[in-house]
Amino acid sequence: MPEKTSTASESSLGMMEGLRSYIPNKGWEELSPEKKENSPNGPREDDFFADEYEPIPNTPIEGIEKKPVLEEDFLEQDLADIADNASINSLARRVAQTNSLVDSALGNKDGNSKKDTDAVKQLDQLGTSLSDLFSDLYKEPSQTTGSPWESVSDALDQLSSEVKKREDLRKQLTSTQEKINLCRKDLIKTIERLAQDEQERLTVVKMRSRLATVMADKLLKKLK
pLDDT tens digit string along 69-128? 444 444 455 555 555 555 566 777 777 777 777 777 666 555 555 555 666 677 777 777
Task: Name the amino acid, one letter, at 72.
Answer: E
User: What CA–CA distance (Å, rounded) separates 113 from 119?
Assistant: 9
Residue 28 DSSP SS3: strand
Q: How many residues does the chain have?
A: 224
- The pTM for the full model equals 0.33
pLDDT of amino acid 70: 43
Q: How far is Cα of residue 172 from the mean position of the Cα atoms in its chain? A: 50
pLDDT of amino acid 117: 63
User: What CA–CA distance (Å, rounded) separates 103 from 73?
Assistant: 10
Sign of the CA dihedral 155, 160, 164, 170? positive
pLDDT of amino acid 12: 42
The low-confidence residues of the chain, meaning pLDDT below 70, are 1-22, 24-89, 105-120, 136-137, 139-146
User: What CA–CA distance (Å, rounded) separates 31 from 36?
Assistant: 6
pLDDT of amino acid 3: 47
Contact predicate 122/104, CB 8 Å: yes
Tell me the H-state helices in the chain: 10-13, 33-38, 69-74, 77-80, 86-105, 113-138, 150-223
pLDDT of amino acid 196: 94
pLDDT of amino acid 79: 54
